[in-house]
Amino acid sequence: MSFYAKHILPYLIEKAGRSHAILDERRRWVPRAHGEVLEIGVGSGLNLAFYDPARARKVTALDPSAPLLARAAPRARAASVPVELVEGDAERLPFADASFDSAVMTYTLCSIAHPERALAELRRVLRPEGELLFVEHGLSDDPATRRWQRRMTPLWKRVSGNCHLDRDAGALIRAAGFRSDDLTAGATAGASWLSFTYQGTAHANAG
Ligand SMILES: C[S@@+](CC[C@H](N)C(=O)[O-])C[C@H]1O[C@@H](n2cnc3c(N)ncnc32)[C@H](O)[C@@H]1O
């Protein structure tokens, strides 16, 4: 692993994820997770303080980055729900079918090499009535911003841990066989190429 990936990128990811606007989204969505919870791409663990012990029984929090998991460890210990940190890849989840009630994914789909594989895995490990909670930045609805996002992504992903600016998270989630009745998408605070956000809950389609 390069010096950049081990020391600089984890710091930058953690710093970006602590903006007021992003913390507000965490506070809004994460407490809704219930039962056995899987969080993919937990990163430095910035969501862990927001789980509600009255709803979440246990959080299994997965990420492929050992340096980010090291940052998450003190937050896992301080959380008010039991948290198990797992080093792993959301494209190959090391869990049995139908083992979670909720899945949480915040600012993660942008960075996964094959997001459609990770979403298929989430469908597999969620129980039939399970709920996916998501807050993801991605492709803007403004044509000028989209052009910028498409132009910048090849460079941006090289310095940001493979973060793509130009993914339509809503379309990816639907294509994976989930439906969402409350998905909202729009620009939040900050630079428009980075702040266009998809958020909501999704459930697997029957069948
Ligand atoms: C921008 S960070 C967001 C971290 C965290 N979700 C948050 O809200 O602060 C993207 C995260 O996705 C993780 N990631 C990248 N590829 C992944 C994969 N294949 N499976 C699971 N997580 C992945 C990265 O290690 C990183 O922690």
SS (H, E, C) 97-151: CCCEEEEEEECCHHHCCCHHHHHHHHHHHEEEEEEEEEEEECCCCCHHHHHHHHH
Task: Please state the φ and ψ torsions of residue 86, each to the nearest 5 degrees.
Answer: -130, 125
Q: Which of 128, 107, 108, 139 is nearest to 178 (CA)?
A: 128
Helix 9-16 vs helix 66-78: angle between axes, to the nearest 10 degrees? 40
pLDDT one-digit tens code per residue, 43-87: 999 999 999 999 999 999 999 999 999 999 999 999 999 999 999
pLDDT at 191: 72
What are φ and ψ of residue 26, in 5° steps? Answer: -60, -45
Q: What percent of the chain has pLDDT over 90?
A: 92
* Residue 194 clears pLDDT 80, i.e. is over it: yes
- Atom 1, ligand 1: which residue's CA is nearest? 107
> Taking the model in full, what pTM does it have?
0.97
Task: Give, using CA atoms, the residue closest to atom 17 of ligand 1.
Answer: 112
Model confidence pLDDT, tens digit, residues 97-111: 999 999 999 999 999
**Cβ–ligand 1 contact at 65 (below 6 Å):** yes
Residue 85 CA to ligand 1 center (angstroms) comes to: 13
Ligand 1, residue 163: give the atom nearest the CA. 1
Sequence ranges of the domains in the chain: 3-204
Q: Is the pLDDT of residue 193 over 90?
A: no
Amino acid 164: pLDDT: 97
According to DSSP, residue 5 is labeled I
Report the C-alpha dihedral over residues 58, 63, 64, 66, rounded to 10 degrees: -90
Any residues with CB less than 8 A from the CB of 191 and at least 6 apart, and which? none
d(CA 123, CA 102): 11
Q: How far is the CA of 70 from the centre of ligand 1 (A)?
A: 14
Gyration radius of the chain over CA positions: 16
**How far is the C-alpha of 126 from the C-alpha of 103, rounded, in Å?**
7
| CA trace torsion 75, 162, 18, 62 (10° rounding) | -20
User: Which fold would CATH assign to domain 3-204?
Assistant: Rossmann fold (3.40.50)
